[in-house]
A and B are shown apart, each in its own frame.
Chain A
Amino acid sequence: MSVITSERMLRTNPLRRLLVRPETGAVAGAIAVWIFFAIVAGGSGFLTSRGVSSYLSVSAELAIQAIPVALLMIGGEFDLSIGSTVGATGMIIAILSTQFGWNIWASIVVALIFAVLVGMLNGYLVIRTGLPSFIVTLGTAYILLGATTGITSIVTNGLTVVNGIDQAPGYSSAHAIFASALGGGQQFPIEIIWALALVALATWLLLGTSFGNWIFGVGGDAHAARNIGVPVTRVKILLFISTAVCSCLLAIILDVKFTNADVLRGQGNEFYAIVAAVVGGVLLTGGYGSAIGAMFGALVFGIVEEGIVFAGVNAEWYKAVIGLILLLAVLLNSYVRKLAMEARR
């Protein structure tokens, strides 16, 4: 029997293999913006521990949502309801703990169950209707925002912000787990650990388990994946649940940290998370990307947002910079995808 060796498999350039890794662009981008702000704002506190803490904190809060969003996008779907889920679950905790005197842990459990239901609803609607998740979750986002604002207003006689969560029973233990600081006076918030734990879990899931292989499969070609025996519906619904639950985790962290809840909290995060995922190399069309990339995408975001403050420029400029980085990242991604799909030479 003669053996056919494809000429395409003979030479693989290691540099090229590094280039086609999804997270390469985001790592390079994070280094680039860090060097930029180290030069521009290095003298005004960017390099101090307060500076480092500030951008790591912003990045970690974003990463907690961007990592599950990256997995969902690799699985071929979007979730625009994650911002409203933060507001809704945060308000559930606040109202149960302050208006009804519940132990904060009990309200956290209720909020988590609520988040699971939101994720299941999103997933179920997307699968059942066959409509684009972009529009389905936009619908649930507005429903959640409107209902949260309305119900909060009824329960609290017209408020949109509920204070006094630190008075709830169980607050001190919750504070230790969700909002304490690390390392003496350095004040590195514990949410950084949450983000790192999440990226480790997501990376293991994506690359080390069957479920991860299914995520790539359903995002690459859901029809083909179903034909070969992948439970497409289950995978997608679980991914929607994970984005909602991680949004609830962020809501818990922010509630405990600020000791209040705001119905508008989290608004805009749905797009920031997509930006971080895309900057991190996740393809908008699904089937390709990484959790580590999304983490570095969130880091780019945090460095730019806080770096501009330290540089003494009007903070709103950061959105212009983020927009520019997003466009560059999308261009880079489509180029990298082309490289990956070309015969390797």
Chain B
Amino acid sequence: MSTINTQTLPLLEVQDVSKYFGSVIALKDISMKVYAGEVMCLLGDNGAGKSTLIKILSGVHRPSEGQYLFEGKEVHFTSPRDALNVGIATVFQDLAMIPLMGISRNFFLGSEPTKGWGPFRRFDVQHANHVTREELSRMGIQVRDTGQPVGTLSGGERQSVAIARAVYFGAKVLILDEPTAALGVKEAGIVLRYIAQARSRGLGVIFITHNPHHAYPIGDHFTLLNRGRSLGTFAKSEISREELTGMMAGGEALEELSHELAEFARTDEKAAATLAEVAREFGAEAEGLHVEQLPAKFTGSEQQYADQLPPTDGEGKR
């Protein structure tokens, strides 16, 4: 897929974009391209600058330096509405949905279809319900009652309504801010499938996540951020899942971690022994004071304390 797309003009491109907040360098010299019909995964740990970058892409912030191009032309957005108008839709983590409102009312909030004219212009509820049902079924969800409050939907369903809404309102680029962050395994899988569907409908998708296990199966390209800088952009063929995970955490740091974990495992055994010793002393002291009904936890054995510690294996876990 990417081999065809790289021939064409990128939908969205940033060149050497930097963002400073006062003396803090939030982003430095980030370059990234997104093509139609591909998923660009933006990966990074907490504080890597993912949020700052998507706020620039979605028009919330303006870059301090660098260029932002949309369909080859430089753009200067002053609000998310500007970005939306050219076709860059961002699904933020709060999803911009009102829990107590029905699905179709949420779907069209702020862009209601109307019929009639002048003072008799009214919200075309039937059309709204029809389109909502249609669009959701194109995403693979059947809705019986489009008046059902969004609050009764599961997290994954809500996410998919938000994605369907962005797609319906003519998004060319869909920016998804950690759509799988708060979801269970199955729900995350459903959302990943909607992302795949948005891609197959020709959208450029920017998928922000800190979970390489969600990013790898769906992504075509991966841009890694670390401490406000880009570690580079990789095509899927150039990088394995393990390398991706390693780079995200900063490979050396991860290795160090595995040593540390192994060290913990050794010290844990010592700690358990020490704890049991202390407990026995405590118990003896209490007996000396004629304390009756001594709680069982003061008389534990070494094995009991070892059991309570988190399980570790010698290799260290990823």
Contacts and interface: CB of A to CB of B under 8 A. Distances in A.
A221 B158 CA distance: 15
Given A6-B153, A217-B110, A1 B140 contact: yes
Contacts of B141: 3-6
B271 interface: no
B157 interface: yes
Majority-rule SS of B interface residues: loop
A337 B80 CA distance: 32
B122, B143, B190 pick with most chain A CB within 10 angstroms: B122
Interface in A1-51: 1-6, 8-10, 12
Interface stretch (A167-175, A204-212, A241-249, A272-280): A204-212
Interface string B141-166: 11111001101111001000000000
Nearest to A285: B100
Given A225-B110, A229-B110, A4 B151 contact: no
Contacts of A209: 114, 121-123
A216 to B, nearest CB: 5
Given A212-B123, A224-B96, A229-B81, A342 B101 contact: no
A266 interface: no
A163 to B, nearest CB: 39
Contacts of B92: 227
Given A213-B112, A225-B110, A9 B142 contact: yes
B100 A287 contact: yes
Contacts of A337: 100
Given A216-B105, A221-B98, A340-B100, A227 B80 contact: yes
A288 B108 CA distance: 17
Chain B's interface size range is 35 or more
Contacts of B122: 204, 208-209
A151 B80 CA distance: 48
A1 B139 CA distance: 9
Chain A's interface size range is 35 or more
Given A4-B140, A210-B123, A223 B109 contact: no
A164 interface: no
A228 B144 contact: no
B140 A343 contact: no
A5 B100 contact: no
Interface string B52-81: 000000000000000000000000000011
B152 A213 contact: no
Given A3-B140, A210-B112, A228-B109, A220 B99 contact: yes
B84 interface: yes
A235 to B, nearest CB: 11
A224 B105 contact: no
B152 A216 contact: no
Given A12-B144, A209-B121, A223 B94 contact: yes
B148 A9 contact: yes
A230 interface: yes
Contacts of A9: 142-145, 148
A319 interface: no
A214 interface: yes
Contact of B123 (A208, A228, A342): A208
Contacts of B148: 8-9, 344
B98 A216 contact: yes
A8 B153 CA distance: 8
B262 interface: no
A209 B113 CA distance: 9
A331 interface: no
Nearest to A218: B98
Contacts of A4: 140-142, 190
A341 B96 contact: no
Interface in B149-205: 149, 151-154, 157, 190, 197
B94 A224 contact: yes
Closest 5 CB pairs of A and B: A220-B98, A229-B110, A210-B112, A224-B96, A5-B142
30 contacts: A3-B142, A5-B141, A6-B154, A8-B148, A9-B148, A207-B123, A207-B125, A209-B114, A209-B122, A213-B101, A213-B108, A213-B109, A214-B109, A216-B101, A216-B105, A220-B99, A220-B100, A220-B101, A221-B94, A221-B97, A224-B94, A224-B95, A224-B96, A225-B96, A225-B109, A228-B96, A229-B84, A283-B100, A340-B149, A340-B151
Given A4-B140, A341-B149, 14 more contacts: A2-B140, A3-B142, A6-B141, A6-B157, A213-B123, A216-B100, A221-B97, A223-B94, A224-B98, A225-B109, A229-B111, A287-B100, A340-B100, A344-B148
